[in-house]
């Protein structure tokens, strides 16, 4: 009995140590959706190699120095027919060996009250074909994208931590199985079984996180917002485009204010120091000359008055 309890205490310490190493692992994020919040942020400084579909994922991946990177992208496109473009993008994902995460087709209204279709779709394609997929999606529009972003996250460290945690838990599981097989008392068997159940639950969670990381690195998410042409068309009244006039007026106002600010900056940073360095000494010099001339004039006037008084006395 004492021997069995001692073994259980040692195994408990091993399990706690394995759980502590999991604190460094990052929980798997939710599946990428339509919004940009679903994308990972913070691209690494150097461009690492992305794990492809044929490379496989196991503990030897990190040992060989290959980086594990999750890459996602987002686009906003102006298209003629959002519903047709959404179907084309769906077929593109299937052709490349990916799949559609979600797709939405709904109605929106233009500035003049016209009801037009609008769509959004998120797909996953093999990471090594991300640039090809983006180029083919952009070909759905005859305009440049309203916005485009490609983001990546290096998860090599988190993946390594999960692998180490999994090995520790699997080792603890094997030892618990051995103890349970050799235990004689029902109470000991139940205690070991409880710990074994908990360890197996943690193993399944870790395997799920590892699988998510592997799938996210193998298949990149692309979220596309398909905007109809009518929504971005300028408002026209009899050939007159008031929106364009307003834009020109605002641009002219901004240009005038910019020029005024530039003048103030030049005055503050260029003319003001010159005025201080040259103008202040010159001011005191001129003031001194004026003071000297005033005193000289006063002395001359006093001398003339004194000469007149002497003449009157004679």
3-state secondary structure 34-89: CCHHHCCCCCCCCCCCCCCCCCCCCHHHHHCCCCCEEEEEEEEEEECCHHHHHHHH
CA distance 108 to 276: 62
Instruction: Tell whether 71 is covered by a domain.
Output: yes
102: β partners: 122
CA distance 225 to 75: 6
User: Of 213, 232, 251, which residue sits at a domain end?
Assistant: 232
User: Of 204, 232, 260, which residue sits at a domain end?
Assistant: 232
* Same domain? 249 vs 116: no
User: Of 180, 205, 232, which residue sits at a domain end?
Assistant: 232
For the chain, how many structural domains are there in total?
A: 2
Looking at residue 231, its pLDDT comes to 76
Looking at residue 264, its pLDDT comes to 86
* Same domain? 147 vs 286: no
* Same domain? 111 vs 217: yes
* Same domain? 35 vs 158: yes
Give residue 132's domain range: 31-162+195-232
Instruction: Tell whether 10 is covered by a domain.
Output: no
* Same domain? 128 vs 243: no
SS3 9: helix
* Same domain? 39 vs 157: yes
* Same domain? 108 vs 211: yes
Selection from 217, 212, 219 nearest residue 51 by Cα: 217
Selection from 55, 4, 26, 91 nearest residue 218 by Cα: 55
* Same domain? 219 vs 303: no
How does pLDDT run along the chain (314 residues), one tens digit per residue?
A: 444 554 555 455 445 554 544 444 444 443 333 333 333 333 333 333 344 333 344 444 444 457 889 999 999 999 999 999 999 999 999 999 999 999 999 988 877 778 889 999 999 999 999 999 999 999 999 889 999 999 999 999 999 999 999 999 999 999 988 888 888 888 888 888 899 999 999 999 999 999 999 999 999 999 999 999 887 765 554 545 555 567 678 778 888 888 888 888 888 888 778 888 887 888 888 888 888 888 888 778 777 766 665 665 55
* Same domain? 80 vs 52: yes
Looking at residue 34, its pLDDT comes to 35
* Same domain? 62 vs 135: yes
């Amino acid at each position: 009995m004492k021997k069995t309890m001692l073994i259980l205490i040692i195994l408990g310490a091993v399990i706690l140590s394995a759980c502590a190493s999991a604190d460094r692992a990052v929980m798997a994020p939710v599946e990428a959706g339509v919004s940009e919040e679903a994308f990972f942020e913070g691209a690494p400084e150097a461009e690492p190699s992305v794990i492809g579909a044929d490379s496989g994922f196991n503990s030897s991946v990190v040992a060989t120095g290959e980086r594990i990177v999750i890459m996602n992208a987002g686009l906003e496109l102006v298209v003629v027919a959002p519903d047709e473009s959404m179907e084309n993008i769906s077929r593109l994902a299937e052709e490349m060996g990916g799949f559609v995460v979600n797709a939405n087709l709904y109605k929106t209204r233009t500035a003049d009250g016209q009801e037009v279709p609008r769509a959004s779709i998120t797909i996953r394609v093999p990471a090594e074909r991300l640039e090809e997929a983006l180029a083919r999606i952009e070909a759905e529009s005859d305009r440049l994208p309203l916005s485009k972003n490609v983001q990546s996250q290096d998860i090599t460290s988190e993946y390594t931590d999960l692998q180490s945690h999994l090995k520790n838990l699997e080792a603890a599981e094997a030892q618990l199985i051995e103890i349970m097989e050799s235990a004689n008392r029902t109470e000991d068997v139940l205690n070991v079984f409880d710990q074994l159940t908990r360890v197996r639950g943690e193993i399944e969670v870790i395997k799920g996180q590892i699988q998510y990381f592997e799938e996210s690195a193998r298949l990149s998410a692309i979220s596309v917002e398909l905007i109809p042409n009518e929504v971005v068309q300028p408002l026209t009244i009899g050939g007159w485009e008031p929106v364009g006039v307003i834009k020109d007026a605002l641009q002219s106002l901004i240009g005038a204010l910019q020029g005024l600010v530039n003048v103030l900056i030049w005055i503050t940073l260029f003319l003001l120091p010159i005025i201080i360095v040259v103008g202040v000494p010159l001011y005191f010099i001129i003031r001194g000359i004026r003071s000297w001339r005033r005193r000289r004039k006063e002395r001359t006037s006093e001398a003339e008055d004194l000469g007149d008084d002497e003449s009157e006395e004679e």
